[in-house]
Amino acid sequence: MADVSVDKVAEFQNATMPLIEATNTAAMTSLLGMIRSLSYWQIAITLLCVLLVWDQISYQTKKGSCEGPRWKWYPIIGPFLESLDPKFEEYKAKWYSGELSCVSIFHKFVVIASSRDLARKIMQSPKFVKPCVVDVAVKILRPNNWVFLDGKAHVDYRKSLNGLFTKHALEQYLPGLEDIIDKYIEKFVSISKGNDYKPQVFFHEMREILCALSLSAFCGKYITEDQVRKIADDYYLVTAALELVNFPIILPYTKTWYGKRTADAAMKIFEECAQMAKDHIASGGEPICVMDAWAKLMQDAKDKDDEQSRLYHREFSNKEMSEAVFTFLFASQDASSSLACWLFQIVADRPDVLQKIREEQVAVRDGDMSKKVTLPLIEKMKYTTMCIKESLRYRPPVLMVPYVVKQKFQVRDNYTAPKGSMLIPTLYPALHDPEVYENPDEYIPERWVEGSPANAAKKNWLVFGCGPHVCLGQTYVMMTFCALLGKFALYTDFQHTVTPLSEKIKVFATIFPQDDLLMTFKRRDPLTGEVHE
């Protein structure tokens, strides 16, 4: 009976197979005929419709419980045109729309975290995320640059750099920094005098002095004044090349092309400086800059046989040192320039604050204006430090820090960020939290007195980030700006011209006053306060 059933099934299959094949062939022929009957325009429109539907479905799937537009009103490109000219007010509206919000631009899905706790969670989750920059950054900063390392490799490299930013190391850089400050005091006064002390834009000069200070700390006297000026003049090209939205392919005469050319030229200079630093230390010289300190660590490690020395202070090549120093400049230049612009504007607009800074600067020197700036002297500048810290809170140079999601990351109970998306913790709301900082939109240096609620709220102080990628140079920043602001307050009468745009925020990598800082500088006697023209 079983054999009969099998035979009948086989017979049925043999009988129906030609019919099925014929039907399939007819269907395929019909489909091909229909496709052939379509014009190229009809095919293109059909594919476009499929793409648009897929784009919306993909956006909806990734959006989940995040705040954001219900649909992508600009299919595919998203708010691309808005991102070409970012507005602080639009950013702020996004932050306060919900603790998680999103946008989608081309193939990039971006999730913005605006609460303090979510921002900290992201920055402290290296298993799931890593810092990222725009696509072209790898080409400009070079693929082997240490900033693109992840996990243990990144941790180990950072440990090799820690010795460059200890208090002892930083104190060795101070004499060179003070020399730069003195030169620029004369330069700023000369510029104002040449313009009959009329208010003029000092945005570019602030960028130049901060670049000069950074390069002095990094390269010491191995870099010439002409090289410093060239890098300072051209560095904005790197900033422009690394804007959030830029063409990812480097084509001649585009922003990215100019940016890479500038970066390559600067790193070539740094390679030469690295070799000079190695030669200086090898001949018995003392460290006076970051490169010297790095060369000294490498030299000292040669006399040690422990695994840690071999790992952290191996023989770094000039190329590696140059790339690392360029990333230090990349991390500091725009942020420190932003802080300088806001700090000078804020202090100049508040004569009572400026007077207290001046009184403190005279007091810590015991009235002896010949005293050089040292770390112990800076540590006595309590009020000056509070002014700098309050400026960092009031106008934080870095608003957001982009990360890329390495694997699905449950950011909160009802939302998981998809792999490959950008996850951006925002710093501004935590630094303007009214529950921590009373009257957060006012500049109040005294909120930072020892034992105050602001000082106690360590979790809100996200100016320098947190987690494994916390800023290496935060002590350097406070030290440099205490020296900078202190000497300018003593030796110059600097005044700011207020315009309707002075308190408006312009976003260019970091933030600046929209009127580009209108100021004038005159010579001032540090003891009598007498102003000279």
Q: Assign residue 268 the CATH number of its domain.
A: 1.10.630.10
- Report yes or no: 289 and 219 within 8 Å, Cβ to Cβ: yes
**Residue whose pair of structure tokens reads 């930072």 in the numeric block:** 448
Kind of pairing, strands 108-113 and 422-425? parallel
Compute the distance between CA of residue 299 and CA of residue 271 in angstroms, rounded to an integer. 18
More confident residue, 90 or 182: 182
Give the per-residue pLDDT at 218: 95
Residue type, 382: K
372 pLDDT exceeds 60? yes
Contact 503, 346 (CB under 8 A): no
> What are the structure tokens assigned to 223, written together?
């870099």
Residue 429 belongs to a domain: no
pLDDT of residue 450: 92
183-213 pLDDT, tens digit each = 999 999 999 999 999 999 999 999 999 999 9
- The pLDDT, as a whole number, for residue 356 is 98
User: What is the reported pLDDT for 18?
Assistant: 56
* Residue-number span of the structural domain to which 358 is assigned: 149-397+450-532
Confidence check: pLDDT of 327 > 70 = yes
Provide mean pLDDT across the span 118-126: 95
Has residue 157 got a pLDDT over 90?
Answer: no
C-alpha pair distances (Å), 316 with each of 283, 298, 310: 18, 8, 11
Instruction: Report if residue 413 sits inside a domain.
Output: no
Does the residue 215 lie in any domain?
Answer: yes
Q: Is 219 annotated as a binding residue?
A: no
Over 50: is that where the pLDDT of 518 sits?
yes
pLDDT at 83 over 80: no
Asked if 290 contacts 164 with a C-beta cutoff of 8 angstroms, the reply is yes
What was the pLDDT predicted at 313? 80
Q: What is the mean pLDDT of residues 99-103?
A: 90
Residue 141, in any domain of the structure = no
User: Apex CA 434: angle with CA 429 and CA 436, to 5°?
Assistant: 90
Residue 499: inside a domain: yes
Average pLDDT, the chain: 87
* Mean pLDDT (whole number) for 472-476: 92
Which residue, 120, 211, 161, is CA-closest to 480?
211
Per the structure, the count of domains in the chain is 1
Give the per-residue pLDDT at 9: 46
Nearest to 241 by CA among 425, 509, 422: 509
pTM over 0.85: yes
With respect to residue 103, please indicate whether it lies within any of the assigned structural domains.
no
Q: Give the orientation angle of helix 318-348 with respect to helix 382-394, to 10 degrees.
A: 100
| Helix 203-219 vs helix 318-348: crossing angle, to nearest 10 | 140
Q: Are 478 and 379 in contact (CB under 8 A)?
A: no
Query: Is 175 a residue whose pLDDT tops 80?
Result: yes
Helix (H) or strand (E) run with residue 84 in it? helix 80-84
**Would you tell me how many other CB atoms lie within 10 Å of the CB of residue 249?**
11
Contacts of residue 231, Cβ cutoff 8 Å, sequence gap at least 6: 211, 215, 262, 266, 269, 329
In a domain, 80, yes or no: no
Task: State the pLDDT confidence band at 219, using cuts at 50, 70 and 90.
Answer: very high
Q: In this structure, what token pair is assigned to residue 307?
A: 């695994």
Task: Say whether pLDDT at 2 is over 50.
Answer: no
Token pair for 218: 């990094």
Least-confidence region, from 129-138, 240-249, 454-463: 240-249
Strand partners, 129: 405
Token pair for 521: 């500088």
Q: What is the mean pLDDT of residues 59-68?
A: 82
Which tokens belong to 239?
A: 């900033």
Residue 9 falls within a domain, yes or no? no
